[in-house]
Structures are given as C-alpha cells and as structure tokens.
Structure 1
C-alpha cells in the first residue's frame, strides 16, 4: 500500500497499555509505521500508556496538520525540552511568542539572496576538506565511510560559513563527536517517561554535560573574539555577523535583537541541525550515485562547462539535474524522518478523523515519500521525477524540510551547500560500491543514518585545481 516493501517485521504478542507498539516504535520507528499502515490503512490510531496517537499516511492529511490547521497543533513540548537540554533556547526549541520573535529576527538572514553570499566560504571549506581527506593523485583510490566523509565536509562548511576561519581537523572531529553523542542521547531520552533535569543522575548524563560544554565553549570563544572592542572590522559577512546584527523590525522594544545567549544557542542549532541534516542527505546521495554510473555521466555532462569561480557557483546551484538527484535522494532517505509530530491543542477533524485535544499526531515522512500513489516505482532512484518538465508531484507528498510556519529555516542554506558539495565530488571523484556491497538499512538517529557503515570506493579523477 505504501510502496515500502522492504520492511515486514514479525510482531510479538500484545502487552497491556500499548507497550507492544511502544517497544516496536522504539526498536525501529520506520518498520513500526509501515506495519501500522499495512494493518490499519491511511489513518492508524493507537493508545500507548493512556496517550492517544494518530498516524496519518496521506499528503492531504499532512497538509491539513502542518498548513491548513497549523494553529490547532503545536510541537510536542516534551520533545522540545529534550532538545533544549543541549541546544538551549533557539528557533527550534522554543514555541509561542518567543519562537515567533526569534523566527522573525533570523528569517532575513536565510533568504536565498543572503545565503548566496556564503557560497565562496562554502566552496573554500569543501575544497580544503576534500583535498585533506580523499586521495589526491589521479587514479588513486580508497574505500571510505560515506557518513564519515560527508559529516567531515558539512561540519567544515558550517564552521567556515559561521565563523569564516577554518578549524583544525582535531577541533572539527571533537565537535562532530560531541554533536553525534548529544543527538544519540536525545533519541534515548525520547523514550524515557520524563525529561530528566541536569542535577538528576541518569544514564549518559556525564557525557552529555561534557559534550555540551565543549560545543558552548567553542562558540563563545568565537563570539567573544568577534564582539571584542579591538575586533578588526570585516568586509564580508558570515553567519555569525548576521546573528549579531539581526533585528526584528516589527518590534519597537528592547528585545528586537537576539541576546548573547540566544546567539550562542542558535549557533548550537546550526551545528546540531545544519551539518547533520546535510551530511545525512549527502551520505545517501553518495551511495545512490555509486550504483548509477548513467546518472553520474548525466551530471558530468550538465556540469561540463562550469567552474567554481563566482559565476560558476551560481550556475551550479541552479543546475536542474544536479538538484534533482539531491531531491530524489532526500525522497528515498528523508534526513529528518523522526521530527514530524504535533500535539492537538483542541478538538479538530483531520482526513475525516476526529482528533481530540492532547492527541499526538505523527506524519510518517518515510512512508509519504515512498507511497506508490504519489511516486510510481517508489523504491527506484529516479532523479527525473524532479526535473522541470516532469509530472507534478502531489502537494505535500514530498516535504523533507517540512511545511507550514515551522518549515526548516535553513532550507536554502542546505540545498546550496549540498549542490556545491555534490558538484565538487562529481567533478573530482569516481564512485563505486565495493564488490558485493549494497546500501545498508537506515536507522533513525534524529537524522536518518545508515545502520551499518555505507562504504564507497572513491577514485581521484584528476589533479585538484
């Protein structure tokens, strides 16, 4: 029914209070949602520990929840508190008027025009990182972990665009380890019965606090250096400059700018969400590309006359087929597959189903993106679905960055970043899966990651320019 035929789990005998389903969701949320869809159809309702939960499996229902009836729903407070416990109070973890204010302040800094101003910083980070971690001699090869490679590249891009200056390999690795450890800890805490305060001993507490201090200390060092009275004036702005100067023009009070703590906490958000989402999408893109030499040939034909000078970058980020391959990779492997949940603030009707106040609604992006009713041959990698002349995709059937007021603020940043990384790799590297290898199963780790290493053989095509 939903086009996802690779998951067909055997479920254990029923436990009281919905605990069987809770165990299955915790073990594998993608498989559990597929089983719910198979058993109950486009609306699956269950009760777990006295909590009513509704899964909606159609694009129409997803749009009603996120767009048409968005005022009837809020993001789950418990989930926001879990993320706030390591990210602080930023544009992801706040709600209500505080979220609205931060969103208004930040939005102008992430418009396509503003993000285009960061492309030279992005390119410099990509070029330096690829030269540092991949083979440099034409014809030389190595087998790499795609997730590790794309994590390193996107971390360098975030650091360069945020602070302008490159970071040592050791510092970048330390940050990456800290972010990954914190996101995994967050996923553990999602299934705990309550949100543990910092003072309470709990599994993972010491590591969590240590990694949080690591990230905050690095960010505060850069902020303090930038705001020091003897700081050298800068001609080109980076993301930190934007955060420091951003104003809420609609507000006439003293809160029309971000506080020092809000600047720090939104920098943490950029690390946590910005690099991990893009690295996940690019990891799966690499694996898919490695299986399709015909797609690689088409990409190289499209990019044959481009370079990475300022004019060439503009051409790259607008390349139709390049962007189609990235969008199709995000359809098959949506990076934020676990974050599309809302809580009903009042009784309402969604897809002819009564949703009572307090109900947790789940929009299973994995299943929406792999539904044969919206995407013929849904398990096949077909970039042509997203070409300008393709048949239109049903509204809200595809939304890797969400929809409605809470759509991802960094969408344009991520798309431009991924296009530049993908184009650079296509230009300089040949890809292949090792003999006998196939793409691993995914696992939900906030971002969608390979359950086992996604190994790709990379071969340098030419001497780096």
Structure 2
C-alpha cells in the first residue's frame, strides 16, 4: 500500500502543523516503479543524481520511497521531517556504510568517519578549536593569506577565479593547521583533490569496489600518496621541533591530545584528523566562494551594494573579527549563494538502527535515508522564485525562513564542525576581493552548469573577468 505523502506547506501561519496521518505498519510512501531489482533507479541516479531526485520529488512528494534491492531508501525533502530525522532520531541513525568506507580510504577513522562513542569523544575533543570565539583568532591568518594571494592576481578579461580561490583556501587551511603555506604544491593538490572527489563519487553508485591494487587504479593510488604525503611531512616536521617551539595551530592541538593520551589519540588518529581538516576545510569553502564569485559577476547591482558596504565599514583597512558583524549585506550574498549552490547538495545518507516513526510512517530497522538539501533550498514554498539571486531573503526584516529549509552545513549533532570557521573565512575573503576587484562575466560566456562530485562545482573550471576596483 502506497499513500501519497503530503506536498503542502507544513509550516502554517499562526499555528502548529497538523498531526501527520498514521499509516499502517508495512506501508511505504509513494515512489517510482522499481521493476524486478530497482537497479535502474540506481543507474538513473548515477547519471544525474540532482535531476533524478528533483523529478521524483515533483512526481511523488516530499517523502519518496526507492526500492533498490536489497535496500529500502527514503528521500526526505521536507524541512520539518529532515529535522525530525537528524535531530529527534539522531541516536537511531548511522551513516551509510558504503559511503563511509569510500571516505575512509583517505580519512581513516576521523571525526567525519567515526560512529557512536568514538565519534562523540572525537567531537568533544575537537569542538573547542572550532567554537565561534576560538575561530576569531584566525581572522589575521585568513586575511594574510588572502592579501598575499590577491597581490598576485592580475586583472584580465578571463581569469581562472575558481583555481585562484581553491589555491587560496588551501593556503588558509595550511596556515591554520600547520603554520605553513601551500606554495608551489597548490596546483598539484588541487588536481589531486578533484580526482579523489570524482573517483569517490563514481564509486558511490557501485555496491563494491575493485581492490585498489588493480592496474587501472594507479591514479587513485597516486592521489592518495600525494595527499597523505602532504600531511605526513607536516606531522614529522612538527615532531622534530622541541615542544617549546611548537606554534599554536591545529596540528599542535592534535599532538597535545596525542601526548596526553596516546591510546585514545595515536599518531594515526592525528593524521586522520589532519587529512579531514585539509580536505573538508578547503573544498566546500572554495566551492562556495567560486559560486559566490559567479553570483556577484552575474548580478552587478548586488555586487556594487556589497562593495559599498565593505568600503563604508572597512574604510580601506584589512577586515578584523570585530568588523564582520557589520558586513550584513555581504553575509546575505553568501547565504543566498549557498542556498542556490550548496557545496554539499546531498548529505551523507543515513541508515536506521531501529524502527522509527517519521511523518506518520513506521520505518523498519535498516532503512536508508537520503537528504537532498538542494531541493529544500530551491523549493518555492520556502523561497519564492527560487532560481533568482535575492540576498534580501536573508535580511533581518525579511519574512522568516522555516526552520530547516536552509541548512548548508547540515543540522543536528553532526552539523559541520567547521561551519563558523567557513563562514568567517568566506566573509573575510569576499570582503577583501571586493576591496580590490570588480567581477564580471566574460563576453559570450554561458552560466556554469553545476556538477556533483560529492561537492558541487562548475562543470568546467570557472573563469571571470577581473578589473581593479580603483579603475
């Protein structure tokens, strides 16, 4: 029995949403025909996951059942149900084992990978370094990296802005983690990370992977060697220093955990956290800044309003942490960019470890859940004319956005650990870029097409016209 899930707004003005209809045990929400195995649905997702999910939501509602033998999966695209799943039922969920296995190839058993007590202990140990007050100390580091990078940028009719911003965010995370700079390794590391994301995304749609020693996996092995070599060189260099010469950065904090409890924090655990911090700490920020640059270039009025605000607040000086709250409109442009182009448009799938009730449906143990953030971000019920770039949606006096409808960093206990750092970094970099340059779309250039390879980037490297803001 399949009963259509409601598509009407659950956030009614002036009251609580109606209680969900209780469905019989054993019933599933509606979904596309699966055929004998449902593997055709998997093939469709592999070809274009965002398009497939958007079509199924249009056809079947906010809760879509996919039967892909041997799995039952629910696609949850209702903000209220997503919060119910990730907050209320958090303890009844684990992340999808196949996805975690793919990520662990590079990231070991870091806080991104670990589950249950191990995850809680790691999160508790790392949380203080990423708290809002703590990350403010990194503003000068971010500004120094941005200033140095932008000094080398040349105004031109077609500048590889995506590559520039990726190198910059890599340099920022290297300075914060290792008190070092990315230097000449930026291009090779950019290529390595991109290859890792493409390879990992492709493997997500296969039930198992060929062993990594197979001849055609030479590139994958090379990428892993490049990235692990970067981390290992930094760890060994730090260990060679006397303790009183260790700088106050994230690596030193991790090594202090190792020195305090080598059993809980062996050196391998330190390396795993460094790898996760490097990958997650630059990739989503670089992707978001890339899309922001496009939004500014293609919306010159919004760009000019943000530039005028930056000029008024900063008066030509480098931004400090005390300036950031005053850059309200700039923050709105970043939020609107992340709404249109969330760097992680689909959260890591979850699996239920016990029977739960979600939106009136009794869901058995072992059910998979997929959360397409991009569908909620582009839902006209929450964001009228969702394809339009309108930073005013996030103004203080704008109509309230339903809780859960905007979640670029996820939600619940496993919300992105680095969200405050990422927002601060994007604001500093964006402000400094607007101080120096005017962004515009090169003549004849079409809008970039988003492509999902775990994170979402333009299908071809983004180039924009760059002119001096003083011209």
Task: Tell me, yes or no, whether TM beats 0.5.
Answer: yes
- CA contact under 8 A between 1:82 and 1:195: conserved in structure 2? no
- CA contact under 8 A between 2:141 and 2:175: conserved in structure 1? yes
Name the CA distance, whole Å, in 1 between partners of 2:91 and 2:308: 47
Name the CA distance, whole Å, in 2 between partners of 1:79 and 1:180: 17
Which residue is equivalent to 1:41? 61
Give 1:36-435 correspondences, 5 Å limit.
Answer: 36-132=56-152, 134-135=153-154, 140-169=155-184, 171-199=185-213, 201=214, 203=216, 205-230=217-242, 233-234=245-246, 237-246=248-257, 254=261, 258-305=265-312, 306=314, 312-316=320-324, 318-435=326-443
Name the CA distance, whole Å, in 2 between partners of 1:394 and 1:245: 42
Q: Deviation digits for residues 423-455 of structure 1, max 9, x if unmatched? A: 111111111111232322211111111123333
RMSD: 2.5
Aligned-pair distance for 1:54?
A: 0.8
Which residue is equivalent to 2:13? none
- CA contact under 8 A between 1:78 and 1:195: conserved in structure 2? no
Decide whether aligned partners of structure 1 residues 16 and 35 sit closer, same or farther in structure 2, where only a CA change above 3 A counts. same
Aligned-pair distance for 1:15?
A: 5.7
Q: What secondary structure sits across from 2:37 in the alignment?
A: helix
Aligned length: 442
Decide whether aligned partners of structure 1 residues 59 and 256 sit closer, same or farther in structure 2, where only a CA change above 3 A counts. farther
- CA contact under 8 A between 1:45 and 1:52: conserved in structure 2? yes
Aligned-pair distance for 1:198?
A: 3.9
With normalisation by structure 1, the TM-score equals: 0.89
Structure 1 gaps, min length 5: 4-11
Name the CA distance, whole Å, in 2 between partners of 1:157 and 1:310: 16
Aligned-pair distance for 1:219?
A: 1.4
- CA contact under 8 A between 2:143 and 2:319: conserved in structure 1? no
- CA contact under 8 A between 1:2 and 1:372: conserved in structure 2? no
Aligned-pair distance for 1:232?
A: 5.9
Which residue is equivalent to 1:9? none
Name the CA distance, whole Å, in 1 between partners of 2:385 and 2:108: 42
Q: Deviation digits for residues 58-106 of structure 1, max 9, x if unmatched? A: 1011001111111121111221111001221101011121111111111
Q: What secondary structure sits across from 1:361 in the alignment?
A: strand
